Structure 1
Amino acid sequence: MVLYHGGKDVVEFPEIRKALYHKDFYFGFYCTKLPEQAKRWATRYGTSGVLNCYEYTPDNKLKYLVFDEMTEEWLDFIVHCRSGKSHTYDIVEGPMADDTIYNYIQNYIDGKISRAAFWELAKFSHPTHQISFHTISALDTLKYVGSEEVYGNKK
């Protein structure tokens, strides 16, 4: 399977970096099977970016968590991770909390909306996908195959 990572730079050797903010599935190297989504990641600041491509080969020795869709378990896991709590999975895959969903999740965490209100708002979101790699062994499942410069619509 081909996976894509959008960013500012060519990433021939993926790394797990601690960042200022916790992400959906905690700190990790994030990819997607949707090239258009990776292009949006790469150009989100209104400048050109890089679409990196990897061949992904799953390894059954690793510990996986897969969410096929947004579920109660998915929401609880994202709230857990975004609260700064780690997990023990090598690879986590599932829907992405895009900017809109992120705001709904933050409002839910902050107590501004109820769980029921979150689900009512979230049902109108478009399909997304992310797969995050959280250990060196997980990163070993990726083989860099190339990259290309991409351009956003913002000026």
Structure 2
Amino acid sequence: GFYCTNNWKQAVRWANRNNEKPVINFFDYTPDESLSILKFTEMNDEWLEFIAHCRSGKTHNYDIVEGPMANDTVWNYVNDFIKGTITKKQFWVLAEFKQPTHQISFHTLSALNCLNFQKSEIVYDRRTEE
């Protein structure tokens, strides 16, 4: 998939990860109601099951998936949940986000047609480890 966010701080962090020239690309997004879109408004059991499903290497048939993003720490908890090392209840205790996150992923050519490139901007911000 092609991954984007509408969260400025998150985009700056992504761009500054190990990049000498961190660039953010800006797109206009026009949803197409004829596409298969899965949207999570919050982390919930359905979100966890979907993330675990994808993390297990299984595919899905959605053109676009949007919702909260699992950061590196949460990925570790998802893996523990998949392996059965922790329960769903334990996952939720561990997986609280300290800041809002957002991710939208485009998985088909039809989904990518919803995007219109606007511009690129170099964004130096070395305070990305916050």
Q: Same fold (TM over 0.5)?
A: yes
- Give, in angstroms, the shift of residue 101 of structure 1: 1.2
Matched residue, 1:62: 35
- Give, in angstroms, the shift of residue 127 of structure 1: 1.4
Matched residue, 2:124: 151
Confirm or deny that 1:32 pairs with 2:32: no
Matched residue, 1:112: 85
Q: Tell me the distance in 2 between the aligned counterparts of 1:124 and 1:143.
A: 31
Q: Secondary structure at the match of 1:145?
A: strand
Contact 1:56 1:141 in 2 (8 A): yes
Q: Deviations over 1:27-76 (max 9, x none)?
A: x0000111211111111226431100000000111111000000100000
- Give, in angstroms, the shift of residue 123 of structure 1: 2.7
1:62 partner letter: L
- Give, in angstroms, the shift of residue 151 of structure 1: 1.9
Matched residue, 1:140: 113
- Give, in angstroms, the shift of residue 110 of structure 1: 2.3
RMSD: 1.4
- What is the aligned-residue identity percentage? 57
- Relative to structure 1, is the Cα distance of residues 124 and 98 closer, same or farther in structure 2, using a 3 angstrom cutoff? closer
The normalised TM-score by structure 1 is 0.77
Q: Which residue among 61, 66, 81 is the counterpart of 1:88?
A: 61
The normalised TM-score by structure 2 is 0.91
- Relative to structure 1, is the Cα distance of residues 118 and 104 closer, same or farther in structure 2, using a 3 angstrom cutoff? same
Structure 1 gap ranges (5+): 1-27
Q: Tell me the distance in 1 between the aligned counterparts of 2:21 and 2:123.
A: 6
1:136 partner letter: L
- Give, in angstroms, the shift of residue 124 of structure 1: 4.6
**Structure (1/2) with the larger helix percentage:** 2
Confirm or deny that 1:98 pairs with 2:71: yes
Q: Which of the pair has the greater relative contact order for Cα pairs under 8 Å at 6+ separation?
A: 2
2:114 partner letter: T
2:44 partner letter: T
Structure 2 gap ranges (5+): none
